[in-house]
Structure 1
Amino acid sequence: MFRRVEMPAQVPGKLLLHSMPGRFEALDRVWHQVREDEVGAIVCLNEHFEIRQKSSAYADAIEAGTVPCSMLGMEIREGGIPVDKDAFWTMVRDVASRLHGGQSVLIHCAGGVGRTAMFAVSVLMALGQPAHHAERTVSRAGSTVETMAQMEMLAWCATRATAR
């Protein structure tokens, strides 16, 4: 169900990509897969109204605190980029650290494509991969950025990654 991103050899964690939980399949099926893959955190890149609109069962689970792992959220409008780039980069680095520690992390937006790709590519750059390699790796896992703004955001993240 989840698409796995190939990680650098020195990173033991798993980076997984998917659409919004419960949008295209039963939420129980997603939770089963979360447990099976031992996902430690879900990165949600949707606005709150979008979650409610596209997967009310997922919205209910978030509100009730019944998601079977921790949640990291950053509201980004569809096709857009984060309002606070520094907060985005901080979250990217947190996910990179979790992956270094061996944790499995699931990233999603609505369809698991544009915003998901933007975040996943940024994580790979934070892990030391060059931008072009990170973009190809995430593309092989089935996600690519969708807008010029997202491409520009990746360029901004690349400068942050190389300034480490």
Structure 2
Amino acid sequence: MPTRTATPDDLAAIAEIYAHYVRTSVATFELDPPDTAEWRRRFDAIAESGLPFVVTERDGSLAGYAYCAPWKTRPAYASTVEDSVYVSPAVAGQGCGTELLRELLVACGSAGVREVIAVIADTGDPASVALHHRFGFTDAGRLTRVGYKHGRFVDTFLLQHSLA
């Protein structure tokens, strides 16, 4: 499955994939799906920071995306990022997440990233945590009841991966 650097032409499909998770799950704590213009702002900010944003395709359609954003804005955190990986529900369980996270970590290394943090909502589905564990992420903590969405409080798992 081809994985490549994201382009602005991918943003409508990225917005569609993400909107599914915003509307139907607690995988993200966002309450309203960002539109393509907001995705363009986010895409540009990631590009300006020199961090990776990758996509993968299946049968000629965008099947998922992954990117890193700065973990915190203070300069001392400059080599630490937070990853995000989202796969179209139509291809979940078909290896897209694995390919995306593999490419993302390689690109992070090339970008001078030392630490990658994953903040994963406790959705009840272990797939995202398991994906990160397969790539060497280790448990760094749990934040309890930090999000409220769809009528319930949600915990997050913190995982960390060192590239240096």
Question: Normalising by structure 2, what TM-score?
Answer: 0.34
Give the strand-richer structure, 1 or 2.
Answer: 2
Give the helix-richer structure, 1 or 2.
Answer: 1
